[in-house]
Amino acid sequence: MYRIEEITDKNTWENFLLSEKVPTHPFFQSWSWGQVQKALGHEIHRFGFYKKKDLLGVCLAVVVRARRGCYLHLRHGPLLSDFPNQFDSFLSQITPIAKRLRVDFIRLSPQLEPDEVSIALLKKHGLRNAPVHNMDAENSLVLDVTESDETLFSNMRKSTRYLVRKAKNMPIEITKTVSDPDLSAFLNLYRITSKRHKFVPHRGMKEELAIFGADNQALLFLAKYEKKIIAGALVIFYGKQAVYHHAASDDIYRDIPAPYLLQWEIIQEAKRRGMSEYNFWGVVPENKPKHPWQGLTMFKTGFGGKRVNYIHAQDLPLSTSYWKTHMIETLWRIRRGY
């Protein structure tokens, strides 16, 4: 009755993904994200989930072959028009495909609410929580940018509002770009930031900016003070949501409130583009006050918005080699205090 076929036409993919047939429109499932993964050397598959000739779902699947293990990664997928009633059939179709690709497990992170129904549906098929922390921003902060500037300001924390206004009166220049020279400066700052906050730096930002930027779906925002770049952010604009995907700042200039003005300019750009939401990306759950990202979370929550929580990433083991990956990722999480 149901079948999975690869989709090779960009318009077919994007038209479904951005339609009202699915409740969310994650950029991790976009055509451009698939192109980013291909540029990084990953094998990708764009699966369409069909009933006869009707397209009922899509799923970008990336084959990750790493030293810690090999798996099929469905980031923020699959996207199904009727998830509760179609997931059984989708999983029965994707599992033999994964086995043919010789991976040890499937990792998926659909944007489902973490309620009893969703958890029971996934556990029914032997899925288990992935041993990684807050993967793919399962705990996020989302701001409604359709509100007026006055309302946005009034909903900020008092200290945040003060620092945005203070920054506006300082010689801080905010620029927007997709150029490589500016990206190189940002990447240098990003590496410094990753060491300071003890997180593993992401690969592929150059490719991400170039590929999404070619479709006018990405911008690099930079804050300059005394002609030096002291803060920056790579923002994705996809569907009706702007996403604060990567960021960096110079700790030497921590007394200069450039990151606050940077955020305000990103919000303004999202409004100009007709976005309805600005996603600040990952935040710490409210029950983890000692988490290493608590300071960053305090910065983000100062701008207002609401917390949005999705179900934790799920793993479906396909071989005994999965448990090697499970052990390595568990130790990695514990060492970093997550």
Provide the terminal-to-terminal Cα distance of the chain, rounded to the nearest Å: 43
User: Could you report the per-residue pLDDT of 280-326, keeping only the tens digit for each?
Assistant: 999 988 877 777 778 889 999 999 999 999 999 999 999 999 999 99
- Residue 290, pLDDT score: 75
Q: What is the mean pLDDT of residues 265-289?
A: 93
Q: What is the mean pLDDT of residues 85-105?
A: 97
Listed by start position, the domains of the chain span 2-135+311-335, 139-309
Q: Is the pLDDT of residue 188 over 70?
A: yes
User: Encoding tokens for residue 227?
Assistant: 């002609």
pLDDT of residue 287: 76
For residue 157 the two structure tokens come to 């924390």
In this predicted structure, the answer to whether residue 16 has a pLDDT above a threshold of 90 is yes
> Domain 2-135+311-335, what fold?
Aminopeptidase (3.40.630)
**Domain at 139-309: CATH architecture:** 3-Layer(aba) Sandwich (3.40)
Q: How is residue 91 written in tokens? A: 């999983």
Helix H or strand E encompassing 47: strand 43-51
pLDDT, tens digit (0-9, with 9 covering 90-100), for 58-94:
999 999 998 888 999 999 999 999 999 999 999 999 9
Residue 198 has pLDDT above 70, yes or no: no
- Do domains 2-135+311-335 and 139-309 share one topology? The answer is yes
Global pTM value = 0.93
Q: Which of 136, 108, 133 is nearest to 122 (CA)?
A: 108
Q: Residues of the chain with pLDDT > 70: what percent? A: 97
Helix (H, G, I), strand (E, B) or coil at 327: helix
